[in-house]
Structure 1
């Protein structure tokens, strides 16, 4: 099956008083057509970010 969605080298940085806060760095994900993906985590941990 071929890739349906590809995320490559994703990085998320938030500004902070003490300097940039790197939340995610060089994240890669490939999802094939028909696959099911979900994010699991505690309330307030940044799943929707």
Structure 2
């Protein structure tokens, strides 16, 4: 039984660690999307000023 319990604990730890990675990458992706939107707006404003 101990072997099964040890394996189970390792799997739970793996899941927990990767769940945290998913949250981090999700936040990073959202931040990148916000930066992209801001840069697009800035470039559109620059194009309007040039006209």
- Whether these two folds match at TM > 0.5 is no
- For normalisation by structure 2, the TM-score amounts to 0.20
More helix by share: 2
